[in-house]
Chains A and B, each alone.
Chain A
Amino acid sequence: MRILIIEDDVEAGAAMARGLAEAGHETVHAPDGVQGLKAATDGEFDVLVVDRMMPNMDGLTMVSNLRREGDQTPVLFLSALGEIHDRVTGLKAGGDDYLVKPYALVELVARVEALARRRETGAVQTTLRVGDLEMDLIGRTVHREGTEIDLQPREFQLLEYLMRNAGQPVTRTMLLEKVWEYHFDPQTNVIDVHVSRLRSKIDKGFERPMLQTVRGSGYRLDA
């Protein structure tokens, strides 16, 4: 994947580039909004990582301009402003996801990959298939090797998110934000318990476990 990092903090940008390179992605760095806009318009990128506050042109303006030109490249905003209304303004300006500083590198990589993935599977789907796991989005049913698996509505949403990001790690924060729509971290391991419940439903009685725990970051659904 080609990722454009638009961040005025050079050191932070370099760390991001290292982390993304480690995950096998190619990165380009732009130090401010004006150069970032130019780079984004000129080159082909899968995801843009944009710092909200930058000299010359701030991230919000930059992304608004980009969207006005019809560019739909997914944007991940990075910001030290983490209040709900800050997120909302970020998403309204055309951002697709919002990550509050300071963040863990694995979190950044997971979110960038999820954004790129979402773009790949842009068309409206009625079924999701990962390995021998099949999800009917209209009938709201899940089958593994032909056996129907009975899921609660939230478990269904959780599995849907994992299936849409199959093969890539998703973090607990991502699950909490995208599945439960909360932007805070509970002190107890509520997400882990939900995931292990889901795991017991989709993996129990099957030879090969699909839902993996990724040490230090979260979970991954493997085909």
Chain B
Amino acid sequence: MRLPGLLRTTPFRLTLLFLALFAAAAAAFLLYIYEVTVGEVSRFADAGILREMQSLQTVYSAGGDEALKASLIDRNESGRPYFYLLLDGKGQRIWGTISHSPTGQFTDRDTAWMYFDVNGKISGRRLARGERQRLPGGEVLFVGADFSEAQDYIVKIVQALWGAGALIVLLGLGGGLIVSRNVSRSIAGLNAVVAAVQDGDLEARVELRGAKDEFEELAVGLNDMLDRLERSIGSLRHAGDAIAHDLRSPLSRLRARLEVALLEVETGKGDPKEALAQALEDTEGVLRTFSAVLAIARLQAAGSAPDQKPFDPGGLAADMVELYEPVCEARDLEFQAEIARGLSVRGNREFIAQALSNILDNAVKYTPAGGAVMLRVRRRSSGDVEFSVTDTGPGVPEADRARVVERFVRLENSRNLPGAGLGLSLVAAVAEAHGGMLEVDEGPGMFSGKGPGLRVALVLPRAG
């Protein structure tokens, strides 16, 4: 239990603030209830006493203190619920149901409300309420009412009000503690993950509770962000390893050739020129690989392709047909195109051209003579624009299709062909940078011992 820590949390402070506001409102409400219940009881009793007093004063005015005394006795006999006490001008008791005036505090005023203890006819000290008035003849008349029954009622109400107040504070405090503990627990989970990530543990994830609140939303967002981060760091790490791996062998070859060339120049035998030419070619290959990796890394880092503008995909495809048609013819490949006109797509034309060029390069490279390559541009029913290249080459086994998109992945049967295995990785990066996707699946199928071919599609989301 992290209670001391909990007391310092923002939710708990907010709880206290709201509790204070709530308690103030509740106090005002309870005060009002007190006023209308307890207040009403005493007002009601006071009104009765006042009426009795007025009635007795009328009797006194008509017949003096003798008549008053008679009336008092009469009233007491008839069971009226009042106490009476009549004193003469010197303060001596003339008649009454109580032995003496409850207090001596009335000398200055004729009328007063007060509480007093009752003994005499009704034993014990009981709370009562009464009024004393000095009569014109100097006598003092006291009329009181037993308040003990109302007192029980009032005490109960006051107790209930105090109880309600305490309950409000307790419930508020308890509820606040529970709420702040839940909130703190959610926040603590998030904080723990952030701290773990700061310490380098990229695999830390927030445990989801299945609630659909904003903390869950934040947790899901944080997890997604970490997934993405982990993927891109992983892919960068992979790229770094791959570059190191892929550049190491041509660089070692280059170094060896230069050493040999140097040796040959020194000893005057062999042909250093050829070694130098080969070294230059190796350098070219290293640089090409490097540029491709850099282009992919930049696209991935930027997240979206720069300078995106609407353009006609059919026009781009026609340019590609024009560029690749001769090379297909030279390799005895039938090149067909099926281009939908009047489409529009938003993107970086140069990057998309390069992606198409990479796909076409692959088709031309891997399709044996006598085969066919087809470039197709169409609008899907979803409105997305699809560029696809289908060939009649050996294709890619289903198990390898996801893998060929990764950097530097070259399938066994392509190792003897030129290339660094970056072509489709760049296409995938271009697709992702346009919010689109790359699809790799089977071509037209087996046909007279050839095939099944490959179909590579670059799908771009519809413009706007």
Which B267-324 residues have a C-beta within 8 angstroms of A? 277, 280, 284, 287-288, 291, 298, 306-307, 319, 322-324
Any B CB within 8 A of the CB of A121:
no
A188 part of interface (Cβ distance < 8 Å): yes
Judging by beta carbons under 8 Å apart, are B364 and A188 in contact? yes
B365 touches A190 (CB 8 A): no
Using a CB-CB cutoff of 8 Å, which residues 118-141 of chain A contact chain B?
A: none
Contact B361 A186 (CB under 8 A): yes
User: Among B158-166, B213-221, B252-260, B346-354, which stretch is in contact with chain A?
Assistant: B346-354
Interface presence of B358 (CB below 8 A): yes
Over the window 151-162 of chain A, the binary record of Cβ atoms lying under 8 Å from chain B Cβ atoms (1 yes, 0 no) is 000100000000
Kindly supply a per-residue 1/0 record for chain A positions 68-110, scoring 1 wherever the CB is within 8 Å of any chain B CB and 0 otherwise. 0000000000000011110000000000000000101000000
How long is the Cα–Cα vector from A162 to B96 in the complex, in angstroms? Answer: 140
Taking CB atoms, residues of chain B closer than 8 Å to A184 are: 350, 353-354, 357
Contact of A190 with B326 at beta-carbon distance under 8 Å, contacts A85-B306, A85-B307 already known: yes
Q: How far is the CB of A140 from chain B (nearest CB, A)?
A: 17
Q: B330 in the interface, Cβ–Cβ < 8 Å?
A: yes
Confirm or deny: B418 has a beta carbon within 8 angstroms of a beta carbon on chain A: yes
Task: Write out the residue numbers on chain A whose beta carbons fall within 8 Å of the beta carbon of B288.
Answer: 185
Nearest CB of A to B405, in Å: 17
- Interface members, chain B 328-347 (any A CB < 8 Å): 329-330
* Minimal Cβ-Cβ distance residue in A for B423: A187
Max count, chain B CB within 10 A of own CB: residue among A102, A182, A190, A193? A190
Q: Do B365 and A187 touch across chains, with their CB atoms under 8 A apart?
A: yes
Q: Is B25 an interface residue (CB 8 A)?
A: no
Residues 37-85 of A at the B interface (beta carbon under 8 Å): 82-85
Neighbouring A residues of B353 by C-beta, 8 Å: 182, 184
When the two chains form the complex, which single residue of B298, B354, B423 contacts A83, counting CB atoms closer than 8 Å?
B298
Complex Cα distance, B350 from A196, in Å, reads 26
A188 touching B307, Cβ below 8 Å: no
Q: Which residues of A contact B284 (CB under 8 A)?
A: 104
- CB-CB under 8 A from B365, the residues of chain A are 187-188
* B307 with A84: CB separation less than 8 A: yes
Report whether A193 and B348 are in contact in the complex, using a CB–CB cutoff of 8 Å: no
Total residues of chain B contacting the partner, CB 8 A: 30
The answer on a CB contact under 8 Å between A193 and B419 is no
Q: State the interface size on chain A (CB cutoff 8 A).
A: 22
Chain A residues closer than 8 Å to B423, beta-carbon distance: 187
Question: Which residues from chain A contact B262 at a C-beta distance below 8 Å?
Answer: none
Q: How far is the CB of A177 from chain B (nearest CB, A)?
A: 11
Q: Are B350 and A193 in contact (CB under 8 A)?
A: no
Q: Does A194 contact B (CB under 8 A)?
A: yes
**In the complex, A102→B323 CA distance in Å?**
26
In the assembled complex, the CB of A133 is this many whole angstroms from the nearest CB of chain B, namely: 21
Chain A hits for B167, CB < 8 A:
none
Chain A hits for B418, CB < 8 A: 187
Is the CB of B327 closer than 8 A to any CB of chain A?
A: yes
CB-based contact A83/B306 at 8 Å: yes
Closest chain A CB from B283 CB (angstroms): 8
Given A184-B354, A184-B357, A190-B306 contact (CB < 8 Å): no
Q: From residue B391, how far is it (CB to closest CB) to chain A in Å?
A: 13
How close is B295's CB to chain A, nearest CB, in angstroms? 8
Does A178 have its Cβ within 8 Å of any Cβ on chain B? no
Question: How does the 8 Å CB contact mask read for B61-96 relative to A, with 1 for contact and 0 for none?
Answer: 000000000000000000000000000000000000
Given A85-B307, A182-B353, CB of A190 within 8 Å of CB of B324:
yes
Q: Which of A104, A183, A190 contacts B323 (CB 8 A)?
A: A190
A137 to B186, CA, bound (A): 75
Q: Is the beta-carbon distance between A186 and B330 smaller than 8 angstroms? A: no
Which residues between 352 and 402 of chain B lie within 8 Å of chain A, taking CB atoms? 353-354, 357-358, 360-361, 364-365
A196 to B327, CA, bound (A): 10
B residues touching A (Cβ–Cβ < 8 Å)? Answer: 277, 280, 284, 287-288, 291, 298, 306-307, 319, 322-324, 326-327, 329-330, 348, 350, 353-354, 357-358, 360-361, 364-365, 418-419, 423
Between-chain CB contacts (< 8 Å), 5 pairs: A84-B350, A188-B324, A188-B360, A188-B365, A194-B326
Q: Which 9 A-B pairs have the closest CB atoms?
A: A187-B361, A193-B326, A184-B354, A193-B327, A190-B327, A193-B330, A188-B361, A186-B357, A188-B364
Task: With A188-B361, A193-B329 given, name 17 new contacts (CB 8 A).
Answer: A83-B298, A83-B306, A84-B350, A85-B306, A154-B322, A182-B323, A182-B353, A182-B354, A182-B357, A184-B353, A187-B361, A188-B327, A188-B360, A189-B327, A190-B327, A193-B326, A216-B280
